[in-house]
Chain A
Amino acid sequence: AQSVSQHNHHVILSEAASLELGCNYSYGGTVNLFWYVQYPGQHLQLLLKYFSGDPLVKGIKGFEAEFIKSKFSFNLRKPSVQWSDTAEYFCAVSNNDMRFGAGTRLTVKP
């Protein structure tokens, strides 16, 4: 069955620490890949997306993600997190329909 796995349920970091959130999927064929973010009390917002081309994609607020086709992965990274990055992060994969991972809650301590 098609699925999206986010390995970390809750990540706690101090400000300025580096971030990497894992995302793996089990789809065959061509996929589009997304990371969405949900800040406390706000709706889901697109952070970045990959359709084709350069597998390293840059998004808003200093986030980037790397698509590694051989590993079926699309990990999210940020070199230095800020307190304002505290949010829930969702990886999503689109083939004919969109499937979301369970989400990773990021808490950044000031």
Chain B
Amino acid sequence: EAEVAQSPRYKITEKSQAVAFWCDPISGHATLYWYRQILGQGPELLVQFQDESVVDDSQLPKDRFSAERLKGVDSTLKIQPAELGDSAMYLCASSQNRNEQYFGPGTRLTVT
């Protein structure tokens, strides 16, 4: 069964450092999502791509976060500089028709 791949699974970084996460969606899925999930809360959408174009990044803190999906396949989410409050699980999901989303295992970020 096809899955969404994410790496790394865990990342520990010091505040003010740069950090990047990678996501490879299910083959053929045009829509890709990045979510942030703080412990005890549900996932919150950070950015949504349709192919290589950003559809929604209204909740992305653009002063420090950036995301790209240059070829419309895999995607990278970057934080620079990282802050203590960025500690969370970062989830990637993909969908074929903007409805049912398939989630990857996530990257757990700890900022010290």
Contact = CB atoms under 8 A, between A and B. Distances in A.
**A pairs with B:** yes
Interface string B83-110: 0000000010100001111111110000
Interface residues of B, number: 20
Contact of A43 (B44, B99, B100, B105): B105
Nearest to B58: A97
Interface stretch (A62-70, A74-82, A100-108): A100-108
Interface string B36-74: 000011111100100000001000000000000000000
Sorting the interface of chain A by its residue count into under 10, 10 to 19, 20 to 34 or 35 or more gives 20 to 34
Interface of A: 4, 32, 34, 36, 42-46, 49, 51, 90, 92, 94, 96-103
Contacts of A96: 56
A43 B42 contact: no
B21 interface: no
Contacts of A51: 99
A98 B100 contact: no
B48 A100 contact: no
B46 to A, nearest CB: 11
Given A32-B99, A43-B106, A44-B91, A97 B48 contact: yes
Given A43-B103, A49-B100, A94-B99, A102 B48 contact: no
A90 B56 CA distance: 22
A97 to B, nearest CB: 6
